Amino acid sequence: MVYLYIILFLSISLWFSLLCWSKRNTLYFRYLFIAALLVGLQCRIAYLITTPTFYAPDEQSHFNYIKYLSDNLSLPVQTSKAYAPTNDYEYYQPPLYYMAMVPIYRVSETLFHEEFLIVRGIRSFSILLWLINIWLGLRFFRHLKISNDFLRVAFIVLICLLPTYTFISSVINNDNLLITIGGAILCIVAQKDYALRKSILIGFLLGVAMLTKLSAIVYFPLVVVMFGFEIVKNRKDRISLVSHLVLILTIAVIMFAPWAIRNWYLYKSITALNIGSIPVYWPSISQGIISSLGYMSHSFWAVSGIYNKISSYFSVIGILLTCFAIVGLIYCVVLKSKYFLTIFSEGNRKFYIAMAVGIIINVLLVLRYGLLYGQGRYLFPSLFPISLYIVFGLGSYPVKNAHVHVTFGFIIYALTFTLFSIEMFSQLA
């Protein structure tokens, strides 16, 4: 672990050097963005290479789904329960991500012939999706017209350097495609331009998201609430807005319907969640809620490994940051500070409320799944909204050079957790 301390020392030294330099010069957004981007890329490449094959959550089952599609040119049928030795317990999942990975699988198989390299070929696509998410994040802020330097920097830093996301976005996982589709949906809705072509596009993307992973359902209330505000506000355009919303939902439902019908025919369930998952019976509901909330918060911030067991105290840092952010938000809302009035401007307020509703629905669905099946790590569909609210809360504290602190604080956070995880991986050898 000596190299970990060397990296930590060098990072802190650079941090303080830039703080001293920034007192006399302006440290522009693009410099901090490049630093976060490069470190995030390095962490992901390190994970891609060093994470043992199939030592990521459900990675072998995801891989087997892709392999089955490639070999059989047909959809698989779910027969196994979670963690079955056959590793085919993800067959109930919607097929879009796996279908998109088949060409990469075939090219990798043709070029390399080795499972080790084929897996890493598919993993590389996850990093590409993350890079697209960075671009979407920049557009997202542009549409919201937020000029605050700290908020812009902190949001991109979170997308680049959130420790769990650096791990997830370098392995085989259908969450990665869902996050990208969700980011595209948010970018379009944030424009508040209800043209016909954009409504068609939103409906198409919602349908595509549902065919990627069922947790995409969290985007529906966000869209409905956003349109609901506009329908109530604009009496003259009410019929037009209702028509747009109906069109969006109709397109999404029509796209998902074939998969839902197939599930009902095979499993007598539209979602088929109960087919592969093993029920958990808690001694009490309160214990189940506490356990699910704990697992949800830890797994969002800093976990890695096949069962998300590699964490140590790293996730506690993120949970404390979340608490600081929540306190900061409450403080701003109660006192209606100048910062609050600036950030929660009238133009964006309805969209922020809609995102908050989406986050709440996401949390409730995670709690429900945790109570039923004992897991709760599915907050990543709300990565953009959660990150935005976290930086809103942290931005309420009047800290000098806060944009420098958040950038290099997260650089150290991501680097040390990555090195710690790699050290734990090496002990498996």
Q: What is the DSSP letter of 379?
A: -
Contacts of 13 (CB under 8 A, 6+ apart): none
What Å distances lie between residue 66 and 39, 43, 54, 89, CA to CA?
30, 25, 14, 13
**Distance in angstroms (rounded) separating the CA atoms of residues 14 and 374:** 42
Q: What per-residue confidence (pLDDT) applies to 85? A: 85
* 309 residue type, one letter: K
Return the exposure string of 316-334: e unless at least 16 CB atoms fall within 10 Å of the residue's CB, then b: ebbeebbeebeebbeebee
Q: With the C-alpha atoms ordered 216, 160, 147, 132, is the resulting torsion angle positive or negative?
A: negative
Q: Which two tokens stand for residue 229?
A: 């505000």
The C-alpha angle 250, 386, 132, rounded to 5 degrees, equals 70
Scanning 268-313, the segments in alpha helix (DSSP H) are 273-276, 285-301
Q: What per-residue confidence (pLDDT) applies to 148? A: 82
**Distance in angstroms (rounded) separating the CA atoms of residues 130 and 117:** 20
Q: Which two tokens stand for residue 128?
A: 């590409």
Q: What per-residue confidence (pLDDT) applies to 3? A: 57
Q: What per-residue confidence (pLDDT) applies to 294? A: 87
Q: What per-residue confidence (pLDDT) applies to 10? A: 58
Dihedral Cα 261, 262, 268, 274, nearest 10 deg: -110
* 37 residue type, one letter: L
Angle between helices 314-335 and 402-426 (to 10 degrees): 150
Contacts of 316 (CB under 8 A, 6+ apart): none
**Distance in angstroms (rounded) separating the CA atoms of residues 226 and 158:** 25
**Distance in angstroms (rounded) separating the CA atoms of residues 186 and 384:** 8
Q: Which residues pair with 223 in a beta bridge?
A: none
91 phi/psi in degrees, rounded to 5 = -65, -20
Q: What per-residue confidence (pLDDT) applies to 23? A: 52
Q: What per-residue confidence (pLDDT) applies to 19? A: 57
User: Are the C-beta atoms of 200 and 247 separated by less than 8 Å?
Assistant: yes
Q: What is the DSSP string of 142-211?
A: HHHT---HHHHHHHHHHHHH-HHHHHHTTSS-THHHHHHHHHHHHHHHHTT---HHHHHHHHHHHHHHHT
pLDDT tens for the chain, residues 1 to 429: 555 556 665 566 665 555 555 554 555 678 888 889 999 999 999 999 999 999 999 999 999 999 999 999 999 998 888 888 888 899 999 999 999 999 999 999 999 889 999 999 999 999 999 999 999 999 998 888 887 888 989 999 999 999 999 999 999 999 999 999 999 999 999 987 788 899 999 999 999 999 999 999 999 999 999 999 888 887 778 888 899 999 999 999 999 999 999 999 999 999 888 887 888 888 888 888 888 888 898 999 999 999 888 988 899 999 999 999 999 988 888 777 777 777 877 678 889 999 999 999 999 999 988 888 877 667 999 999 999 999 999 988 888 778 888 888 899 899 999 999 999 998 875
